[in-house]
Amino acid sequence: MPKHFLTISDIPADEAGQVLVRAKEMKDNAVRTDLLAGKTLLMIFEKASTRTRVSFEVGVRQLGGDPVFIAAKDSQLGRSEPLKDTARVLSRYADGLIVRTFGQEKLETLVEYGDIPVVNALTDEYHPCQIMADVLTMYERTPNLTDLKVAWVGDGNNMAHSFINGSAAFGYELVLACPEGYDPDPAIMDAGVNAGAKVTLVRDPAKAVAGAHYVNTDVWASMGQEEEQKKREAAFAGFEVNGALMAKAAPDAKFMHCLPAHRGEEVSEAVFESPASIVWDQAENRLHMQKAILEWIYT
């Protein structure tokens, strides 16, 4: 049976740390391998992307494989034929699927009816590759992740969901500050807690950030939610990560953002461009972490 990576929870707890260590080793030693030599990985992206696309294409090549990119306009996921049929056809052509799409159920159907690995490059429910890269970014600075308090300020979205899963896998404390009506999915919260996640949900960003070692946020209106922009701006008033909020965090706390960022909304220009900002390390670490995840899948 092929391995799949749809959420962080797909990596067994006793192997998650190994993947993290391997990602750092790959970064520190500029590792290139021929693990994927002779293999073709299809990258099906129904959502636009810069970092995810480039980091995966480069990563697959650095492991000796051939990436084939299929854009939204070229994709027929679930449109002209049943998705289960597409899964069976693509399994005859390629050695893996890297999919950036909307509903998580599409990935689950590809897994059910296909027989090649499926990697979640982003869905509306989860963004596991990003959070694994973010954990690597924290691990580089503070290897004992169980001592960390991580704050999330903003929407209880796919990033928040994967941060919850990350807490269960790596043991950091997570405090989420979300405005009412924008909480994470309660089922994902409950499942995370049952799996060992140390998670608290609050309404006050200052409470979430107090003493935090890492402060995370994301855009208020994600891709596909642009029509809600004005409504969300009102709901998220007071949730900007600015100098006053960062001052409540632990000394030398770092600011993190998955990018792209909307300066003047979820983060101030001053914080984004400050020495506390480690957003470029996060972006780079997508490459190294995704290589480690692919190595975990194909070995």
Q: Tell me which residues are annotated as active site.
A: 100, 127, 130, 218, 258, 286
List the beta bridge partners of residue 45: 100
DSSP three-state, residue 231: helix
Is 128 marked as binding a ligand?
yes
**DSSP characters for 25-89?**
HHHHTT----TTTT-EEEEEESS--SHHHHHHHHHHHHTT-EEEEE-GGG--TTTTS-HHHHHHH
Q: Give the C-alpha separation, 196 to 165, whole Å.
A: 9
Q: Was 52 annotated as part of a binding site?
A: yes
225 is in an annotated binding site: no
Question: Cα–Cα distance between 9 and 168 in angstroms, integer?
Answer: 8
Q: Alpha-carbon distance 137 to 273, whole Å? A: 17
**Known binder of ligand: residue 286?**
yes
Residue 61 labeled ligand binder:
no
Residue 258 annotated as binding? yes
Q: What DSSP element (H or E) covers 205?
A: helix 205-209
Residue 120 marked in a binding site: no
100 annotated as a binding-site residue: yes
- Binding residues are 49-52, 76, 100, 127-130, 158, 218, 222-223, 258-259, 286
- Binding residues for carbamoyl phosphate are 49-52, 76, 100, 127-130, 258-259, 286
- Binding residues for L-ornithine are 158, 218, 222-223
